[in-house]
Amino acid sequence: MTKRARLGAYEAIGSMLERQQIRRQLASANYNLWNAVKKLRPLFSKQEYGMLKFRLIERKTLEETGREYGISRERVRQIENRIFKKLEEEAGRVGALNGHFY
């Protein structure tokens, strides 16, 4: 294996490890965020809570979420805005989200 080929292989391995680390960090952040949101479950309707799970944990698009609930993606966006407003108001009141929405 030439020096250039080894260098390329090392760079490829480094990139792969970096992507894995980023995925782990995102998974950890999502887990922490979801645990914070679960504390505030009583604030939400069943539909709102389901949408939060779809969007934050399952990483579904607006389109996919809309299909699941039989509504347009614009309506999903409107409901999301309402959800995040509730979260911000409650977080300000109880401090349960540790700055996730500020």
Structure confidence by residue, pLDDT tens digits, 11-45: 777 777 787 787 787 777 777 777 877 777 888 99
Dist. CA 89–CA 10, nearest whole Å: 48
Query: For the chain, which residues make up each domain, given as ranges?
Result: 3-94
- pTM of this prediction? 0.59
Alpha-carbon distance of 56 to 84, in angstroms, equals 12
> Quick check: 75 and 47 in contact, CB under 8 A?
no
Tell me the H-state helices in the chain. Answer: 3-39, 46-52, 62-69, 73-94
Sequence-ordered list of residues with C-beta below 8 angstroms from that of 57, at least 6 positions apart, any chain: 30, 34
